[in-house]
């Protein structure tokens, strides 16, 4: 590859024509790529098409669960782009610049996309209208405190670095650069106010990922290598499942009921009993 790949995801549906797994990548030069993954006796990876949607590092690739060919890519250049993985190549659908700072992560929440930004808070974008409703704006550190979030690790210096959302519900989870965890119920009046969750993290949140039965477990990793599992219906149920120092932290991936951890030493899978409460 001509550039580093900080963002990579496999789509839930296979290519309808070839039956191959489809992977989507984001590069540190701002390009996105669509790849065909062969998983036969001789596994192979072949780039089918690419495009350059961004002017800086692609920070996240978020596939839509409702339209399997659509993904949102976010970038340090402050943009989020919705595009289609078509058979003829990537096709841009719409674009949003939610503020003046980097967009670190994205997650689909029904037909909207939650965007976590470095200093512009969390913006909910409806690609169908091409607008970001102000009622869905969760502010940065100072605004979070004005909205009634108690001071502490979750609110102090709350640049947002990660986001996870329940696809068919209105619950959104946010991670901050200070190791804080926030929870937002979009069904509440006025778009909801963020609430702090107990967080054992002391370094910036690297990734948030919902898994388990019906998305009942929130996995979080930080830049120091700590990984925590928390039950979404009972915040008191938490478990630190990895705490060894790992440069840059660990990437997370759910495979059914089990959690995979990826880092400089490769990928390992947690025992099933470690992923349950």
Task: Give me the pLDDT at residue 154, please.
Answer: 38
Give the pLDDT confidence of 260-277 residue by residue, as tens digits: 888 877 788 887 778 777
For the chain, the helix, strand and coil percentages under 3-state DSSP, each to the nearest 5 = 5, 50, 45
What does the pLDDT read at residue 130?
63
The whole-angstrom separation of Cα 201 and Cα 271 is: 22
Q: Tell me the C-alpha distance between 269 and 85, whole Å.
A: 30
What is the spatial distance between Cα 90 and Cα 71, in angstroms, rounded to a whole number? 10
User: Are 122 and 200 members of one domain?
Assistant: yes
Does position 209 have pLDDT exceeding 60, yes or no? yes
Residue 2 falls inside a structural domain: no
d(CA 223, CA 239): 18
Which DSSP string corresponds to 1-54? --S---EEEE-SSPPTTT--EEEEEE-TTSEEEEEEEE-SSS-EEEEEEEEE--
Least Cα distance to 13 among 76, 83, 79, 64 occurs for: 64
Domain co-membership, 109 together with 243: no
For 142-156, the pLDDT digits (tens) are 333 333 333 333 333
Instruction: Please check whether residues 194 and 214 belong to one and the same domain.
Output: no
Tell me, yes or no, whether 1 lies in a domain. no
Distance, in Å, from the CA atom of 27 to the CA atom of 33, rounded to the nearest integer, reads: 8
CB-based contact 185:173 (threshold 8 Å): no
Is 182 found in the same domain as 268? no
Residues 59-108 have pLDDT tens digits of: 999 998 766 688 999 999 999 999 988 767 788 888 888 888 899 999 99
* 141 and 65 part of one domain: yes
Structure letter (DSSP) for residue 150: P
Question: The domain containing residue 257 runs over which residues?
Answer: 207-277
Q: What is the CATH number of the domain that holds 242?
A: 2.40.10
Buried b or exposed e, range 219-237, using 16+ CB within 10 angstroms: bbbbbbbbbbbbbbeebee
125: tokens are 């974008």
pLDDT at 168: 65
pLDDT of residue 135: 36
> Would you state the structure tokens that stand for residue 57, as one six-digit string?
């590092």
Residue 166 sits in the same domain as residue 225: no
Whether residue 159 sits in one domain with residue 135 = yes
* Cβ 180 vs Cβ 193: under 8 Å: no
């Amino acid at each position: 590859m001509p550039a580093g790949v900080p963002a990579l995801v496999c789509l839930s549906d296979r290519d309808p024509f070839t039956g191959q797994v489809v992977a989507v990548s984001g590069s540190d030069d701002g390009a996105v790529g669509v790849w065909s993954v062969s998983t036969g006796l001789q596994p192979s990876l072949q780039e089918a098409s690419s495009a350059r949607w961004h002017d800086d590092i692609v920070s996240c690739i978020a596939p839509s669960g409702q339209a399997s060919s659509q993904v949102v890519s976010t970038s340090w250049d402050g943009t989020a782009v919705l595009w289609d993985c078509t058979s003829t190549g990537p096709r841009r659908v719409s674009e949003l610049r939610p503020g003046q700072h980097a967009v670190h992560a994205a997650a689909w929440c029904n037909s909207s996309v939650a965007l976590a930004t470095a200093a512009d808070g969390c913006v909910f974008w409806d690609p169908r209208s091409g607008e970001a409703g102000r009622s869905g704006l969760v502010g940065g550190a100072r605004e979070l405190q004005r909205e009634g979030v108690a001071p502490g690790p979750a609110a102090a210096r709350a640049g947002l670095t990660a986001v996870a959302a329940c696809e068919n519900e209105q619950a959104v989870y946010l991670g901050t650069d200070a190791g804080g965890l926030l929870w937002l119920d979009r069904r509440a009046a006025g778009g909801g106010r963020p609430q702090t969750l107990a967080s054992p993290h002391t370094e910036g949140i690297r990734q948030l990922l919902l898994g388990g039965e019906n998305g009942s477990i929130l996995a979080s990793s930080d830049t120091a290598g700590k990984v925590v599992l928390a039950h979404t219906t009972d915040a008191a149920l938490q478990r630190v499942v990895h705490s060894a120092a790992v440069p840059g932290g660990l990437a997370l991936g759910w495979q059914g009921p089990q959690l995979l951890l990826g880092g400089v030493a490769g990928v390992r899978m947690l025992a099933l009993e470690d992923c349950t409460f």
